[in-house]
Amino acid sequence: MNLPIETPALLFSATSLILLAYTNRFLTVAQIVRGLKVSYEQNRTKSILLEIHNLNKRLSLIKYMQMCGVLSLFFSVFAMMLLFFGIQDWGTYLFGVSLLFMLTSLAISFWEISISVYALRIHLSDLTEEAKQHKTK
């Protein structure tokens, strides 16, 4: 299989945008955790502890998403270097490895998003119940 050097280069822009999105997710979750810690110090409730546990899991997933994204970029650059020096077979294989890391990163991202959506649905269900009680009054 003949892989032109431009093919791994295409992964550059996509990977950098994905890593930026992952960083924004991390910063948002970190900010929420800090706020919840203050809330927990004031009101020691079980629901806040459950939220913190959920966010801790999300932070771990974001860490793995970022690691796989960085490894994808690393192997893509390494593949381009090998292709530049004419080492076609190894360059092709390493580009395949970079694609596997990108797929892994995206799969973990999907998992993290599903956890986030589940947590939001729990909050919405509380509000929905409260809204139903207001309607019946």
Give the pLDDT score at 65.
94
Give the pLDDT score at 101.
96
Mean per-residue pLDDT pooled into runs of 10, the chain (137 residues): 75 81 86 82 78 86 93 92 92 93 95 87 72 68
Give the pLDDT score at 137.
61
Tokens standing for residue 122: 């729990």
Asked whether the whole model's pTM tops 0.75, one would answer yes
